[in-house]
Amino acid sequence: MESIFHEKQEGSLCAQHCLNNLLQGEYFSPVELSSIAHQLDEEERMRMAEGGVTSEDYRTFLQVISNALKVWGLELILFNSPEYQRLRIDPINERSFICNYKEHWFTVRKLGKQWFNLNSLLTGPELISDTYLALFLAQLQQEGYSIFVVKGDLPDCEADQLLQMIRVQQMHRPKLIGEELAQLKEQRVQKTDLERVLEANDGSGMLDEDEEDLQRALALSRQEIDMEDEEADLRRAIQLSMQGSSRNVSQDIPQTSGTHLTSEELRKRREAYFEKQQQQQHPPAPLSHPRERPTTSSGALGSDPGDAMSEEDMLQAAVTMSLEVVRNNFKTEGKK
């Protein structure tokens, strides 16, 4: 829609914007419209300068615009007048309309094969479909607008020639200039507030994120250390249990004469228990296939890699053996 001429509102020059948007060019200036107004009598010019909203002022502005359009051979006819209504003309068959409410004037014009609202209070031209045009004009009348049909041949313009060949689509309707200014002002305020917050923090927001990452890393590190400490404590407990089993057994047995076992005797009984356990788990091979099992210097049976006992099995065996020794000692003491 860049080819469409659209003057935006400046001051109280809506009559100038209305005429220029209708003719699609800078045809009238405030000086030229003032010259037309001077052709009116003194009383009419005074009422126009006051900018009131009485019926006399309305007729004054209407007369100025009508005289300006006569230069181009154009005239205005009231849309809802009985004379025009008797013609029963469909609005889409017209070429343009001028709408007025109090002191504001704006143009609705057909360019090519499409209708556009060229209100100077909008940020740009607003596309109006053929089916919506009659409803749009009826709505304006309900809001108190006076609508005039522009009769005559409008001057040629680039937008009309271009839109005869193509049709345009409008994804977003233009906003009122006041709404756009308010939105821009709000955006500037929000930007200023954000900059103020950033200056006050002086980058502390980034530091807070870094500090949180550091705290999480320290927490994970402490968890790993605690797990390592627990594993070390467990290993030490197993080792102490195995080392102190013989001492605890001998201490728990009543210290009567003839019942004390030396550490050497306890070691031999433990070896004998292990040997018995190994024989139960691995019975001797048939005589036709003799198999010797070498022993270690401590008397414990050697084994293949598959016969190796885990540390947990060794601990369980030691506890069981110790309990067996205690029971045997109690039996011996009882016989005595």
Residues annotated catalytic, as ranges? 14, 104, 119
Query: What is the Cα–Cα distance from 243 to 15, expressed in whole angstroms?
Result: 110
Tokens linked to 29:
């200036």
Query: What is the Cα–Cα distance from 88 to 140, expressed in whole angstroms?
Result: 19
Q: Which residues is 109 bridged to in the sheet?
A: 96, 116
Identify the CA nearest to 5 among candidates 161, 187, 203, 159: 159
Alpha-carbon dihedral angle through residues 119, 124, 129, 130, given to the nearest 10 degrees: 40
Query: What is the Cα–Cα distance from 47 to 229, expressed in whole angstroms?
Result: 98
What letter would DSSP give residue 9? Answer: P
Pair 61, 105: CB distance under 8 Å = yes
DSSP string over 48-103: HHHT--SHHHHHHHHHHHHHHHHTTT-EEEETTSHHHHHH---GGGSSEEEEEETT
Phi-psi region of 240 (alpha: psi -120 to 50; beta: other; left: phi over 0): alpha
Query: What is the Cα–Cα distance from 127 to 109, expressed in whole angstroms?
Result: 10
Query: What is the Cα–Cα distance from 33 to 123, expressed in whole angstroms?
Result: 24
Query: What is the Cα–Cα distance from 72 to 97, expressed in whole angstroms?
Result: 16
SS3 104: strand
Which residues, including other chains, have CB under 8 Å from residue 252's CB and lie 6 or more apart? 326
